[in-house]
Every structure is written in C-alpha cells, then in structure tokens.
Amino acid sequence: MSPDRLAEINARYHMFSAISPEIPEDAGFLFSAKDNLTSAGMETKCGSRILEGYVPVFDAAAIERMKAAGGALVGKTNMDEFGFGTFSVNSAFGVPLNPFDPERSCGGSSGGSACAAAVLEGHVSLGVSTGGSVSCPASFCGVYGLTPTYGRVSRHGLIDYGNSLDKVGLLSADAPVLGRRLAEISGRDPRDPTSCAQPELSLSGKRISSVAAPEEALRGVSGAVGEAFKASLDRIRESGADVETISMPSLRYAIPAYYVIATCEASTNLARYVGMRYGRQDGDLSLGFDDYFASFRTEYFGDEAKRRILLGTYARMAGFRDRYYAKALRVRAHIIESYKEAFGRFDAVATPTMPFIAPRFSEISAMSPVDSFAADFLTVPPNLAGIPHLSVPCGYSEGMPIGLHVSTDHWREDLLASFAEDWSESFKAERAGVGQ
C-alpha cells in the first residue's frame, strides 16, 4: 500500500492524522497507531491543537515492539482530544467517518484506529483505552478490539490521560491477529514500572467454559442491542459453555466513579501543556507567566479538555477531595471485588459493548455531555477494574454493527484470544468500505 493510496482512502474516511511518507514494500505487516502514542520523527498531537508540531524523538514501547516484530507504521490515527470522548467528534483535526455509514460516528476515542482496522485489508491498529476507547469504536465499526490487563503492555511513550487507567490495546478485523500481536507487544519494561509485576503471557489455547451475564447490563440498552446480546449468549451456550444471569449492583456506580477518577488524573496530566515544552509555543511572550499560560490554554485546548480540567480540578480541591475523589476510589475497589467474586465462579463476564449502534452526527450534537458520559456504562466497569476485555461483532441493526463485550480476570487474555478466534469461525462479520 503506497502513502498516496492511503491518502486517498483517508480523504474519504479521515481516519489518519498523519501518514508515513514511506511504506516499505517488504514489511512483515502494516499497522497504525493512535495518535497518543509517540512516534519518532512523526507528528504526534493527540487530536489537540496544543500539541500541533510536536515531533517526538522516540517511539512508544508498543510501536517499538510492533516494528521489532516486522511491522511498518503506516500512520497515526485520529482521536478525541487526549482521549476525551466516546464518538471521536472531539478531535481538532477532523472526525473519522463510519465505514458502514459516513453520517455516523466511528466511536471513540480510538475512532481512527477502528476505522483503519475496518477498511484496510489485513490491518491491525494500536488503540488506547482509559474507559472503553478500544471496545466502543471496535463495536461501532464491526471489528475486534482487545484491551489487555492494566500493566500488560508498557505505557512508555503513551501520552497520559489517566495513568491508573490507560492501557494500550489492539483493533483488527482479523481475530487471530489479536493474540499474536499482543504476545509481541506485551512484557515487562523497566521504563514503565507498572508493567513490571506481570506474569508471563501464555496463549495456552484454553477456552472460556462458563459465562456470567449481569442483569444490570441489559437495563438501558436498545431493543436491537438486547436481542443481539441474547442471541450471542445462545451461541455461547451452543458452543458448550455454561451461561448464567447474575446480579452485579456495583456496576451502576461505575460511571460517576470513573468520571471523577479519570478527570482528576486528566486535569493533573494536562497541567504540562502551557506552551513551553511540547508542540505549539507561539503565545504572546510579552505576557507574565500566568497570563501567558492562561491565554495559551484558552486558545488551544478544545471544549471537552477544558470541561475535564474544570471537573477534575474541582473534585481534587481541599474540602471536596474526600467527598468525590476518595469516595470514587472506594467505589472502584468495590467494583473490583464484585468482579473477583464473579471470577470465583465463572471464567468470563459478558455484556453488550455499547447500549446502541453508532449514532448519527446529528444525534451526537443533540446529546448533553452527561448523555455522552452515560453511553459508556458498559465499557467503564472492566476498565476501572483493570481487567482484560474484548469486543467482538455479534449482530447488525439498520445495517450497523453491534458488539458483544467479554471480560476475564486479570492476566487471562489467553481466554479472550481463544474466544475471539472461535467466535470469528462461527460468526460471519460483515465488512464495509474495504478496498475503496
């Protein structure tokens, strides 16, 4: 695939924020990476004007390892600014268009990665999830999305959104590729101490033999999604696994806890963008420090980034910290316990991935910020718990894909890799936009 050809495809779908000037013909495989992973010599801007012109001098660990495995990086994928969003509409550099219907969202925040995985043949894309940003776009674009256990893949070179939540994952239309590439990019890395406690990843081929379906997951999903989910559970039963409905009441508190923790972490991470070190540095230098920083941040951060700075700073203020941040951490611990309890009896927990099919852009602009936060209620819980999860295409409504979400215990990506492979053999996923 030549860079020109890629540019043509990009003109149609807006999945890339940068395309490599050269793509070697003898590469083992081609991949793209979300634009919050640093890429040596290639602009990395996280969907934000504040980072425009930032050309890192090193590759993120995940990109480095993909290259070491024979991969060629073909482009950086478009995303919600710093990962803040569910529909990839919060990007300063154009919005990726869903290959099944260009009037609809690709999902977010790794929307460009899902779009590239859906449209390009044999492609794999590195995405990043903080609260569901691999699963959501995978489900809206009808591809497979694997988010590993927190710490499985080094975060070195990943531009932080929420450090206790961020995970590098993989998206592809080709299910068996997920496990293979995960094995290549995972492992300890002294440059990310949180990656150092992990056990070895062994793709044992072991299969999921029991699945819990929390009843809370079906409250608030559309009729079509509910039906596709029930049909998926039947398919799992037919494959020989036990499926049981359980109750996980703590899931209902995941959204408020997540948005407190994530915005607290995000607001501290964004403090480094003041027009001095990375990206743009073209503010009015005759101003004093505070005025320079304030005018620069006002000009170059988008609305959603500003909203998260305000929310996170408020929740961390003396006096509010215990009421919001500390409480959210207790809810998080409670959610982890409920998963541990479920995994004492079952190999996996299954829910739909998103409560609805990819919305139209006109529908998204009518949503309030809270409506859009609430759409994540199924993807946020496993992300808060740091457990691995997988979205697989499981049905279609109005011609748009629906996703099934499967989570397993910490470090059990082996079960997800074999599930993805088995699922792809029995479920014929539709593709859109391929070869255009």
Tell me which residues touch ligand GLN (CB under 6 A): 83-86, 109, 129-133, 161, 262, 376
What is d(CA 185, CA 164) in angstroms, rounded to the nearest whole number? 20
- Sign of the dihedral defined by the CA atoms of residues 340, 342, 343, 345, in that order: positive
Q: Return the number of the residue (71 or 169) whose C-beta is nearest ligand GLN.
A: 169
Contact (Cβ atoms closer than 8 angstroms) between residue 158 and residue 166: yes
Q: Return the number of the residue (156 or 167) whose C-beta is nearest ligand GLN.
A: 167
How, if at all, do strands 71-77 and 29-34 pair? parallel
Q: Return the number of the residue (161 or 423) whose C-beta is nearest ligand GLN.
A: 161
Q: For the CB of residue 105, give the shortest distance to ligand GLN in the complex, in Å.
A: 12
Active-site residue identified among 17, 20, 32, 34: 34
Residue 17 tokens read as 């924020």
DSSP 252-294: GGHHHHHHHHHHHHHHHHGGG-SSSSSS---S-TTS-HHHHHH
Q: 119-139 as b/e, with b when 16 or more CB fall inside 10 Å?
A: bbeebbbbbbbbbbbbbbbbb
Q: Return the number of the residue (80 or 421) whose C-beta is nearest ligand GLN.
A: 80
Q: For the CB of residue 266, give the shortest distance to ligand GLN in the complex, in Å.
A: 8
Residue 45 annotated to the active site: no
Residue 222 tokens read as 């559309």
Residue 64 tokens read as 């480095």
- Asked if omega into 109 is within 30° of 0 (cis), the reply is yes
* Residue count of the chain: 436
Helix (H) or strand (E) holding 401: strand 400-408
Cα–Cα nearest to 242, from 216, 213, 219: 213
Q: Return the number of the residue (176 or 220) whose C-beta is nearest ligand GLN.
A: 220
How, if at all, do strands 167-172 and 389-397 pair? unpaired
Active-site residue identified among 17, 48, 133, 250: 133
Q: For the CB of residue 255, give the shortest distance to ligand GLN in the complex, in Å.
A: 10
Q: For the CB of residue 58, give the shortest distance to ligand GLN in the complex, in Å.
A: 22
Contact (Cβ atoms closer than 8 angstroms) between residue 136 and residue 354: yes
Q: For the CB of residue 130, give the shortest distance to ligand GLN in the complex, in Å.
A: 4
Q: Return the number of the residue (143 or 233) whose C-beta is nearest ligand GLN.
A: 143
Residue 267 annotated to the active site: no
What is d(CA 120, CA 118) in angstroms, rounded to the nearest whole number? 6
Residue 210 annotated to the active site: no
Q: Return the number of the residue (44 or 424) whose C-beta is nearest ligand GLN.
A: 44
What is d(CA 95, CA 78) in angstroms, rounded to the nearest whole number? 7
Active-site residue identified among 88, 91, 105, 109: 109
How, if at all, do strands 124-129 and 144-147 pair? unpaired
Contacts of 261 (CB under 8 A, 6+ apart): 162, 164, 165, 325, 328, 329, 332, 384
Q: For the CB of residue 159, give the shortest distance to ligand GLN in the complex, in Å.
A: 11
Alpha helices in 240-390 (DSSP H): 254-269, 289-300, 303-316, 327-345, 361-365, 369-374, 380-385
What is d(CA 238, CA 218) in angstroms, rounded to the nearest whole number? 21
Q: For the CB of residue 413, give the shortest distance to ligand GLN in the complex, in Å.
A: 18
Q: Return the number of the residue (161 or 301) whose C-beta is nearest ligand GLN.
A: 161
Q: For the CB of residue 133, give the shortest distance to ligand GLN in the complex, in Å.
A: 3
Which residues carry out catalysis?
Answer: 34, 109, 133
